[in-house]
Structure 1
C-alpha cells in the first residue's frame, strides 16, 4: 500500500487513492492560516459552494492540528469538548476526523493531510499509518507548490516519529 501511495504524482491523485484505501467519506489537504483554511485537494467531501474552496476557522478542525503541531484523532466530533462550538458537524457533516500536520519553513505546521467521516469512526492503527505516510508524501508534493505560489519554503519531511493524539483522552 505505501509503495502504491508514493507512486501518486499529484495531490489530487493522492487524496483519491487514500480515500479509496480508507473507505472514508473524504480526504483533504489543507493550508491553514489565521485567516482561514484553503483546500488544496479534496476527495469525497462535499463543501458548500459559499465557501469557494476556503473553509472559515469556525468550520475548521485542521486549525487545531496545526496549532498543536501533532496528529489529531477524534472519533466523534459531536461530543468532543475541543469542537463544542465548531460548525464542521452542523454545516459539513463531519463526525470523525484524523489529521496529520504538514510542515513549512523551519518546520512550522502550515497545513494538514486529513481523513473525515460522516459517522462515528474508531480510526485503526492502519488508518493512522496510511494518513501519516500520505502526509509525508503530500509534503514532498507541496514543496514546489508553496515555493512558487505562496513564497513559503517547505521542509521535505513530516516528523514521522510523532505519536498521534487521541483527543477523546484529552477531554
Structure 2
C-alpha cells in the first residue's frame, strides 16, 4: 500500500475558532493532507455522521471503501469510534452523541492514530499511546461511559 506521509493539519485551531471545526473535519483534513479551513462546505452541522463523511470524501473526488468495524490489512482511513456506556440500548441516533472521528494508518503490525485531541492541535500517535493519552481521558470525562469502545465504521481511503 502506498500512503502519503502522515499529515497534521496546521490550521485546526484556527478552523475551530472560526467555524467550530472538530474531530470530523480535522480527521478528514488529516487523511486528505489538506487544510481544515477549505473543508468547511462539507460540514453544515456541528456533528459528522458516516453519511456526511462519505459525502465529503466523494465531493473531494476521493475513492474509499466502507467497512463495518475494523478491516484487516494495511489501511489509511477515517474511523468512527463509538463510546460504550449507559446509552448502549438507546436508539442509534441517540448513541451518535457519544462518537468520535479519528484517522488510522496501519502498515503491517504498526498502527498509528490521528486525533484532534492529541498534542496541542491534533497529532498522530502509536495506537497504545493514543489509547492511554487521549482515548482514556475522553471516556473518563463522559458521564455514563463504561470505559469500553468499538469501531462502528472505517472508511478506507484508496491511494
TM range (shorter): 0.3 to 0.5
TM-score (norm 2): 0.38
TM-score (norm 1): 0.36
**Which structure ranks higher in relative contact order (CA pairs < 8 Å, sequence separation ≥ 6)?**
2
